[in-house]
Amino acid sequence: MLLLRLLLKNAFRHKLRSALTLIGLVVAICAFGLLRTIVDAWYAGAEASASTRLVTRSAVSLTFPLPLSYGERIRAVQGVSGVSWANWFGGVYVTERNFFPQFAVDPTSYLALYPEYVLPNVQRQAFLRDRQGAIVGRKLADKFGWRVGDQIPLRGTIYPGIWSFTLRGIYNGVDASTDEQQLLFHWKYLSETIRQRPGANPARVDSVGVYIIGIREADDAALISQRIDALFRNSLAETLTETEKAFQLSFVSMSEAILVALQAVSLIIVVIIMAVMANTMTMTARERLAEYATLRVLGFSPGFVVRLLAAESLLIALVGGLLGIALTLPLAAFVGQAVGTLLPVFRVSELTLLLQLLAALLVGVVAAAWPAWRISRFDIVAGLRHVG
Amino acid sequence: MKALPLSYIARNLWVRRVTTVLTALGMALVVYVFATVLMMSEGIRATLVATGQPDNVVVLRKGAGAEINSALARAQAAVVESLPGIATDALGRRLVSKEPVALINLPKRGSGKPSNVTVRGTSDLGLALRPQVRLAAGRMFRPGTSEIVTGRAIAGGFVGADRGETLRFGGRDWTVVGVLDAGRSGFDSEIWGDSEQMIQAFRRRDFSSMVVRLADAGDFERTRTAVDSDPRLQLEAKPEIRFYAEQSEALATFISILGTALSVIFSIGAIVGAMITMFAAVAQRVGEIGTLRALGFRRRAVLVAFLAEALLLALVGGGVGLAAASLMQTVNISTTNFQTFSELAFRFTLTPGIAVKTLLFALLMGLLGGFIPAWRAARLSIVDCLREA
């Protein structure tokens, strides 16, 4: 008990210095947590993917379409339980800043494959009946203040012209990892509209961006992928089938350089704060040389003195770390709002919180190492002579 | 007023070496992050700006924004080609390149991870329109064959893309016969082949974009009006420099916003570090301050001395950070530009402007961290100081 009081008194003896160190720690631990959350958000699409869904795209690249006729042939492949398809629309709502993903999908089969999009039955029926209808995720609707029945005009970049959709439903994600910032509309509406245009390229009218394939057994994913790709080998449009997770990860790996930089930077901040904290502990130890010498004279072992210093360092680091963690949650909510549709799922994971705590403890241990090593081997007489 | 000598200030830092090094190290790391981020967005900008030529005009479908979204029918291309004001080469041919552009997915060397690479169909005129592009190795592709040339970053970065190797896409094998050096422009990250061969291989009917050299760069407005006013076209013309600058905007802005936000957060840590150090320096030297004051040095001289100490500390940190950042210039990196959805290779670019900005940033950290301690030192009364010593 006495020891604890000594620790507390020691740790906050220099109020200003302790306060400054704490501020530094809080900022660093907070930034560390936020950076990790940003990196996590990048992987959110892959995390939310189901192991029983495959994605088939053109083997050349995602920008090449596949023929609509492939759908029926894929459905006949052994082990496939459902087939749907989607086209990336790439429309602009008012300005480029309002970016959010839009997909032209085959509604019935698509919603059957994505049970995580929870839609009231009335709205689902209304959407299925209206070919010009669309549904959006809850967060997107909240962001733009859309209500069911509203008209949403989009300016096409891939498919030219102004496209107007009637909002027929707003879906909720089944859990926090579901993307609630998309707009889905009828693929038929897209293809019919293009067909009616003069000079329409017949190859583009009945084309599909990707096929989404539901399979019965997740374990069969590799086998079924091979079967599908074998079906179209040496055809005019060869396919590449992979699990939904691998498909999403291929997007993540495109911006890998940025992710690696973010991860590096999140470690650098820990090193920075280590330097600040180590500096504080070094100064503390230097000032207290006479005190430590006195403790040694009174019969305390060198180990005790070292433990005293280490415990003080850990105590400050722990307090700063906990404050930082407490601040991370509201701050992450704020940043999540600010980045909006760019990173649709923005959530501080439990692992991040744990790593923040570990980082704080690591800072505490490392900061005490150098001064502790010094005081463990200093000369008592010199220490007593030293005036702090 | 008599000022304290600089050597006194410098030696004060030297006496407390460990503390000085730790504080400067913290600052150096912050400065390093700050500088590399600026260098990164500058590198992206420089790469894409170097891609455009001042007298070239890019023609795309209205509203397409990027080449891969765009489509130009042959009839439309013919109309554009016949517009007045287009430069001609020595043989009297109009300097116009009608180009199909596609993305193909290729695995990277080493990691094997796939990424999107731009494939451009062009001709000898396309090369003439881009004087910054020259052959680094091998020869140009022959028209009408399945031969391609690859940009330097692609040749080194992707499996099967170097000279003598073959790539398979669009249902056939393409032989790489040459490597392009595009002078650190975006074309270093592209694959070029014959325009008509590409259209066939990708089973297209249309071109993606057209590049046109104007006889007089000042004529752009007239060309644009001509394109806008023709109801057959539904196209838009842009100066090539502006077109490529717009392509880099989102990525460069994203990186600089993210980086600046990070640097500001980090700098709080470094400022706190400097403040702790300077407060300790003041506390340790109370007696010394009293003596100086008794010797006749004014409050202001003490303030300036401590502030200079903090600034010197920041300058050391800033210098080390900047030196470390300048080493990054040798590193080539590539990432996907999400506006074009394709791979873009670039280098960290250090400009004098960035160096000055970085050092000012370091000094600002020193000033913010050092001012309060220095002010406190100057406010101490002589008698208290001397009594405490």
Give the residue-averaged pLDDT of A37-66. Answer: 88
* CA atoms within 13 A of residue B35's CA, in its CB half-sphere: 33
Structural element, H or E, at residue A137:
strand A133-137
Which residue of chain A comes nearest to B111, CA vs CA?
A: A253
Q: Does B112 touch chain A (CB under 8 A)?
A: no
Q: Tell me which of A158, A262, A268, A363 to substitute to probe the interface with B (most B C-beta atoms closer than 10 Å).
A: A158
Question: In 3D, which of A26, A37, A25, A44 has the Cα closest to residue A332?
Answer: A37
* CA atoms within 13 A of residue B303's CA, in its CB half-sphere: 12
Question: B245-286 pLDDT, tens per residue?
Answer: 888 888 888 888 888 888 888 888 889 888 988 888 888 888
Residue-level pLDDT at B250: 80
Residue-level pLDDT at A104: 95
pLDDT tier at A386, thresholds 50, 70, 90: low
Query: Mean pLDDT of all residues in chain A?
Result: 88
pLDDT tier at A253, thresholds 50, 70, 90: confident
Domain ranges of chain A: 2-45+255-385, 60-237
Give the residue-averaged pLDDT of A294-312. Answer: 87
Query: pTM for this one?
Result: 0.82
Residue ranges of chain B with per-residue pLDDT less than 70: 1, 389
Lowest mean pLDDT among A147-156, A285-294, A362-371, B313-322: A285-294
**Token pair in block for residue B281:** 């320096």
**Token pair in block for residue B118:** 């731009």
Question: A81-140 pLDDT, tens per residue?
Answer: 999 999 999 899 998 888 899 999 999 999 999 999 999 999 999 999 999 999 999 999
Is residue A5 predicted with pLDDT exceeding 50? yes
- At residue A52, φ and ψ (nearest 5 deg) are -100, 20
B285/B302 Cα distance (integer angstroms): 11
Residue-level pLDDT at B184: 86
Is residue A176 predicted with pLDDT exceeding 90? no
Beta carbons of A17 and B114 less than 8 Å apart:
no
Give the residue-averaged pLDDT of A167-174. Answer: 94
Is residue A388 predicted with pLDDT exceeding 70? no
pLDDT tier at A374, thresholds 50, 70, 90: confident
Residue-level pLDDT at A287: 81
B277/A283 Cα distance (integer angstroms): 8
Helix intervals (H) in A43-179: 44-47, 70-75, 107-113, 121-129, 138-144
Question: In 3D, which of A343, A139, A180 has the Cα closest to residue A259?
Answer: A343
Beta carbons of B63 and A157 less than 8 Å apart:
yes
Q: Are A169 and A124 in contact (CB under 8 A)?
A: yes
Give residues 260 to 299 of A whose Cβ lies within 8 Å of B: 261-262, 265, 268-269, 271-273, 275-276, 278-280, 282-283
Question: In 3D, which of A86, A53, A66, A71 has the Cα closest to residue A238?
Answer: A66
Q: Does B61 touch chain A (CB under 8 A)?
A: yes
String of DSSP letters for B89-114: -TTS-B-EEEE-EEEEEEEBTTT--E
**Token pair in block for residue A102:** 């839009």
Residue-level pLDDT at A341: 67
Beta carbons of A20 and B29 less than 8 Å apart:
no
In A, which residues are within 8 Å of B343 by CB distance?
A: 254
Structural element, H or E, at residue A66:
strand A66-67
